[in-house]
Each structure stands twice: as structure tokens, then as C-alpha cells.
């Protein structure tokens, strides 16, 4: 080992000053040289870049596929859910009597009802072959533009509606049910003013009501009256089907059809229909009818969600009741004999639909059906009563009779009911 004297020559000592100690410098550490990386050949660079690019493309493809699937699933959920509409009924509100449009009885004035409900009433324009063929009324029931009206109003090819502010929209027919004279239209958009639906079971005779519609094309006409009767079973002119109606003396004229009968809380309790009044209006005045909202609500719900009323069936026959003078005279004209007593309480068949199962039985036109499922049938109402609760696909047994050469021949048939989505039966 070397001493620092080997490489250092100290100075001569001076006698006056003491010798100062010396500390040698600590040697600096020596590191091995860092090797310089060899350059990557060009072909290896291309290979690495290709692998990285392929990996990025693969990841991007996976992302796009997952994104599309998620969007598709969300779109499907949205399109499925958009037809599910929960039609709500509101309890009678507790109104503030201090409001200028509220009476001391805590009900709206006619003005108050009109201001609240008129924005929800629309005028419906019906076109056939691009020409205006008729008008009617409708009620907005959802913020996204579902509108209820009468089925006889929408007998056309194209439809437009005009709102209270005179804005016009093209409307799509979602579903129509001729049996009950109810239909649903839809306009595109949002934030429309929906009407408030009430509970028609709480309506009482003598209650003040307001009818709002478009008679004779006179937009948003308001008429006042009272509830003249409730639970009126009124038969539709076109189908003969009976609906639960509210009778009122508020004026309901052609053009009012599809409009609203409103209580003094601003709630729709009925859908006005001139078709239910037509059997009386030529003879009596002050007779208006509105389909109760409670009976209409499940039909409207089905029309929105399915486009038809579910649970219906059809037999596949056209008939008339044999229990009347007209049928007796027709029988006399056809068979040149009086109708036997046994046939007077039966259905006289005039036509059989080939697309129904009953066409595969022995039943023919001019035969008579006396019973269904061992219960007597003689008219439309008795058939509905006997087959109440039945649905498409159910089996029915019918007792029949045929009049030939002055004698009656009895026979039995068995057939299946057909599901009906047409709304005509």
C-alpha cells in the first residue's frame, strides 16, 4: 500500500507556526462504461411496429363490437319500453277556494276547467286519397303524444292534428277498435300537455260537467251541463256492442266525437261519442253520451301496447236473431211456411267465414244455432254471455237445426274459436 508521501512533497516546516494536519482527497469511484446498444435492423423494426399496430386494431375492433352491442341492446330496450304507457288516474284534488277560478265548494269554475283542459284537446283531420274527408276531436293523454279518440273518427288513410296553439302535426294510427268505438293516434315530439284522467266510478247524477271538443270544426268549443244518468248501457250504432256510458245534457254534436267530458276538478271522466247518441238524437234533444274513462282505459292501454284489444275471439258466422217479426217474415218468404216455434229462439245463419274453424263443420248458411255449450242463444248479447271468459283456441259445442222439405233436422257441431285482433267482432 502506498502512503500519500509517495505522490506528495510536503513544504518545509516553519518554526513560528505549528504544522497543519493534511487530509488526502478521497478517490472518485470509477464506474464501468455503459455499453452502447446495437442498432435494431430495419426488418425487426417493421416487425415490432406491425405487431403493435395489429394489437391496437384488435383492441379497437373489440371496443367497437362491444359498443355496438350495448347500443343495440339499449335501443331495443328503448323501443320495447316506449309502447308501455301507464295511464294514471288522479284523485280529486283539494283546490284552493282563494283561487279566482275556484268556487267556494272547492271546484273549478267553467272558466277554470276550460283553461286547464283546452290545451289537451286536439282537432283531428282525416284524409282519404289526399283529400280531407272529415274532422273530429281527440285528447292528449301522455307528454310524448299519445291521443285517444273515437274509432269512427279515424276512418281514413292519413291523419293530422291541430293543437290548441294551432300547431299542426302528422299523426300515426296506433290502433283502432270498432267494437268499442275507441282509437289511439300518436304524434312525434315531447312535452305535450296531457289531460288529467279522473275516476268515473265517482261520478254522481246531478254533477256539473263540461264537454270540450270541435263540433262542426269549431275548435275548442266548451259546453256545460250536468250528469243526467250513470251506468247507461248504450249500444254502438255500427257494431251493436254495449258500452258503459255517462248520459249528459251538455251538447255533444258531430265533431265532438273523441272529445272530453270533464268534471269540475278538470279531470276527464268520459270520451264523448256522437255514435252512441245517434240512436236518440233524431227524436230527443239534450241526450249526450260519453264512454266512461274507467271502461275505456284498459282498451286504450291494449291499443297502445299491442295495436289491438287482447282476449277477443270470433266465431266466424254472420247471423240475425230469429226472435222478431222481420225474421219471421223472411222465413215465410224463403221457405213458404211459418217459422217453427222451436226456431224462434235461435240464431239464423246467413254466412260462414271460410278462414274460421266453424267452416270445417256441417253448418251451412240458412241453418239455425239453438245452443252453445248447452246454453240457449238467440241474439248477440246471449252469445256473449254464454261465451264470456272464452278466448281464441277454446272449443265450443253448438246444437243446430236445419229446415228442409218442411221438417227440422237436428245436429251437433264442435269448433274452435278464432283469436280476433281486428276489433270488428
- 274 part of the active site: no
Catalytic residue, from 137, 152, 274, 346: name it.
Answer: 152
Give the containing element (helix H, strand E) for 52: helix 42-81
* Interatomic CA distance for residues 173 and 162, integer angstroms: 15
Catalytic residue, from 137, 162, 177, 181: name it.
Answer: 181
- 191 part of the active site: no
Up-side HSE of residue 291: CA atoms within 13 Å toward CB?
A: 30
Sequence-separated (6 or more) residues with CB below 8 Å from residue 337: 331, 406
Q: What share of the chain is helix, strand, coil (3-state, %, to 5)?
A: 25, 30, 45
Are 203 and 244 within 8 A, CB to CB? Answer: no
Written as nine digits, the cell of 346 is: 235461435
Residue 110 has a CB neighbour count (10 Å cut-off) of 15
- 75 part of the active site: no
- Pick from 245, 416, 414, 400: which is nearest to 314 by CA? 416
Written as nine digits, the cell of 67 is: 359498443
Residues forming a β-bridge with 187: 171
Q: Where are the beta strands (DSSP E) in 12-130?
A: 121-128
Catalytic residue, from 257, 273, 274, 321: name it.
Answer: 257
Give the catalytic positions in this structure: 152, 181, 257
Amino acid at each position: 500500500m502506498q502512503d500519500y508521501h509517495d505522490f506528495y512533497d510536503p513544504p518545509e516546516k516553519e518554526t513560528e507556526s505549528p504544522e497543519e494536519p493534511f487530509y488526502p482527497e478521497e478517490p472518485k469511484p470509477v464506474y464501468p462504461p455503459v455499453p452502447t446498444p446495437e442498432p435494431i435492423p430495419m426488418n425487426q423494426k417493421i416487425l415490432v411496429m406491425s405487431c403493435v399496430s395489429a394489437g391496437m386494431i384488435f383492441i379497437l375492433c373489440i371496443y367497437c363490437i362491444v359498443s355496438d352491442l350495448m347500443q343495440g341492446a339499449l335501443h331495443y330496450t328503448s323501443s320495447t319500453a316506449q309502447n308501455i304507457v301507464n295511464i294514471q288516474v288522479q284523485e280529486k284534488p283539494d283546490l284552493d277556494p282563494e283561487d279566482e277560478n275556484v268556487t267556494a265548494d272547492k271546484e273549478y269554475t267553467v272558466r277554470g276547467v276550460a283553461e286547464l283542459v283546452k290545451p289537451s284537446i286536439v282537432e283531428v283531420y282525416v284524409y282519404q286519397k289526399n283529400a280531407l274527408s272529415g274532422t273530429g276531436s281527440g285528447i292528449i293523454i301522455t307528454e310524448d303524444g299519445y291521443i285517444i279518440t273515437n274509432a269512427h273518427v279515424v276512418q281514413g288513410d292519413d291523419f293530422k292534428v291541430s293543437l290548441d296553439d294551432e300547431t299542426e302535426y302528422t299523426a300515426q294510427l296506433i290502433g283502432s277498435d270498432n267494437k268499442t268505438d275507441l282509437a289511439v293516434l300518436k304524434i312525434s315530439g315531447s312535452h305535450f300537455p296531457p289531460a288529467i284522467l279522473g275516476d268515473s266510478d265517482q261520478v254522481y247524477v246531478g254533477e256539473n260537467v263540461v264537454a270540450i271538443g270541435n263540433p262542426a270544426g269549431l275548435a275548442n268549443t266548451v259546453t256545460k251541463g250536468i250528469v243526467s244518468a250513470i251506468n247507461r248501457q248504450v249500444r254502438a250504432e255500427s257494431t251493436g256492442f254495449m258500452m258503459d256510458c255517462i248520459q249528459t245534457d251538455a251538447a255533444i254534436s258531430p265533431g265532438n266525437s273523441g272529445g272530453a267530458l270533464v268534471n269540475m276538478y278538470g279531470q276527464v271522466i268520459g270520451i264523448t261519442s256522437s255514435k252512441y247518441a245517434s240512436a236518440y238524437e233524431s227524436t230527443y234533444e239534450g241526450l249526450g253520451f260519453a264512454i266512461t274513462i274507467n271502461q275505456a282505459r284498459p282498451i286504450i292501454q291494449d291499443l297502445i301496447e299491442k295495436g289491438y284489444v287482447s282476449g277477443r275471439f270470433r266465431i266466424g258466422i254472420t247471423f240475425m236473431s230469429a226472435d222478431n217479426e222481420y225474421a219471421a217474415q223472411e222465413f215465410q218468404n224463403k221457405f213458404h211456411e211459418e217459422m217453427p216455434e222451436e226456431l224462434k229462439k235461435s240464431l239464423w245463419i246467413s254466412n260462414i267465414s271460410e278462414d274460421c274453424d266453424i267452416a270445417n263443420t256441417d253448418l251451412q248458411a240458412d241453418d239455425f244455432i239453438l245452443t252453445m255449450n248447452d246454453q240457449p242463444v238467440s241474439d248477440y248479447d246471449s252469445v256473449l254471455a254464454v261465451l264470456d271468459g272464452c278466448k281464441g283456441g277454446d272449443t265450443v259445442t253448438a246444437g243446430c237445426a236445419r229446415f228442409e222439405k218442411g221438417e227440422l233436422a237436428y245436429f251437433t257441431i264442435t269448433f274452435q274459436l278464432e283469436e280476433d285482433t281486428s276489433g270488428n267482432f
